[in-house]
Amino acid sequence: MIVDLNLNRKHVLVIGGGDEGSRKIRGLLDQDCKITVVCDRLNRDLHQLRDQGTIEVVKTKIKDSSILDNYDNLFLVLAATNDKELNRKIVEKARAMRLFVYAVDDPVFSDFSYASIINIEGIMQVAISTAGRSPIMSRRVRIKAERMLRKTIKKTDIENVKLQEFARAAAKSEIQTVEERKKFLYSLIKNDRIQNLIKEGKTEDAKSTTLELLREWEKE
């Protein structure tokens, strides 16, 4: 089962600062989460992210899984050292602490496997997964699928996602039932006036029109 973890405002701890850890950190950058990296040395990529203030870095030698005792309120732990046995111990301890945990060298032993993600403008993600059986094949298929999807998913689709987020937030306080809110949201996709404004790039006008339609919907 593929799931999309909500990391918004959550604390993620990455233990290890090698190339594999760097790749996983790059995948976290658009998740609006706090990222702490514990490692004994940094590669160039992590140096840059630290200097930008994007990640917090704690430089120390990682001897065992007790490093986890230094942190409270963690949500996710990524074990990314070059020692498989140490990564396993980190997974076991983090799991005992009831945290989500992933080992870069042992996805089967982890709580989840990483999918190969097609990310379109940070708004729409499509995941290709082999459930940890072959990350290499996930990446190969992702490259093929991405070419097709970038031709299929238009700018108007992305803008509709943004408008739907705006409309759903506005409708929650005005339309009481889930079914009625769904009907309202579907009506926006089918509304010619809204869709023409989106095509013309008039996103603020589309939002204003959405609020007008919401007021009319309440009266009906």
pLDDT at residue 115 greater than cutoff 80: no
pLDDT tens digits along 46-91: 889 999 999 999 999 999 999 999 998 999 999 999 999 999 999 9
Pair 109, 208 in one domain: no
pLDDT at position 43 is 84
Coil vs helix vs strand at 51: helix
Confidence of residue 118 (pLDDT cuts 50, 70, 90): confident
pLDDT tens digits along 132-170: 788 789 889 999 999 999 999 999 999 999 999 999 999
Cross-strand bridge partners of residue 58? 38
Pair 29, 80 in one domain: yes
Confidence of residue 121 (pLDDT cuts 50, 70, 90): confident
Tokens describing residue 159? 């803008």
Pair 70, 34 in one domain: yes
Pair 95, 74 in one domain: yes
Domain C-terminal end among 153, 177, 204: 153
Spatial CB neighbours of 192, under 8 Å, sequence gap ≥ 6: none
Domain residues for 37?
A: 1-113
Pair 54, 2 in one domain: yes
pLDDT at residue 2 greater than cutoff 70: no
pLDDT tens digits along 13-39: 999 988 888 888 988 988 899 999 999
Give the Cα separation of 103 and 86 in Å (integer): 10
Domain C-terminal end among 59, 89, 113: 113
Contact between residue 175 and residue 184 where contact means Cβ atoms under 8 Å apart = yes
Pair 108, 172 in one domain: no
Average of per-residue pLDDT across 122-138 = 84
Contact between residue 107 and residue 135 where contact means Cβ atoms under 8 Å apart = yes
Give the Cα separation of 219 and 154 in Å (integer): 34
How many structural domains are present in the chain?
Answer: 3
pLDDT at position 83 is 93
